[in-house]
Structure 1
Amino acid sequence: MMRGLFYICFFCISVADNCGKTVSIQEDILHSLVSMQRPSCGGNTKFGLTSVIVCHGISVYLRCTYPFKINIKAAVYGRLDKSICPEGPAGTTSCKSKTSDAKIKAQCNGKEICRVNADARLYGDPCFGIYKYLDVKYTCF
């Protein structure tokens, strides 16, 4: 099977992702597939907690395999580490959005798949002129 190949079915799309597994994606996110980053392969998983870093301007999908659902433990948009997403100015390591955690939890908790975006328009700009990223930690329950 070729990676990245799409199979269309009646109410879903299946994607052969770069993890070698087939992922079913609901029709309601079909419109996003053109610009979609591949669903996360779990990011960095340790003790059942998955950590995903999303650099500014990028969207990724968080996912849990059926029948498990996403449970966001923490989501921070801002900059807390100069070594993460070093593509732009990183003059501070003490800025974070006050709304990102609650917004990501409301958006993703209880779903099998969820698209997250690293964008100041969604969470506010906690440190103008600094290149930011979204750090999401979640489990599948």
Structure 2
Amino acid sequence: MSSSSHWRTRRQRLALVGEQCPHCQAMLFPPRDICPSCHGPAKEPYHYGGVGSVYSFSEVYTAPDAYEHYAPYVVALVQLEEGPLLTAQLTDVEPEDVYVGMPVEMVTRRLRAEGPEGLISYGYKFRPVPERVAAH
């Protein structure tokens, strides 16, 4: 990721900022210029709470460049409480402990570093919500 795109996209990597369509109230993530439900302009920012549950998941054994040291890791489709589905890496959990319906919350974590003295990228991941998982 270039330095300019790193800074340009930092807000959406550090917080779950989407939009709510002012016409049909659809919840959108990531932000879009046009609402896919009613095709009206969607320009009202919405800050998601960052809490949801695992909708589906997969374990990654062969990671892309710059992520090899994380493998194996779990990537999940997370359904936010407000409705949208998003893809995110799970953290602070062993792959065998992940299950569909597991309550999760967004956390900011280091994603990668470009060499020992390069740019360090941070972004969102999801981790289990401890008090909710214990009831499973």
Class of the TM-score when normalised by the shorter of the 2 chains? under 0.3
- State the TM-score, normalizing by the size of structure 1: 0.25
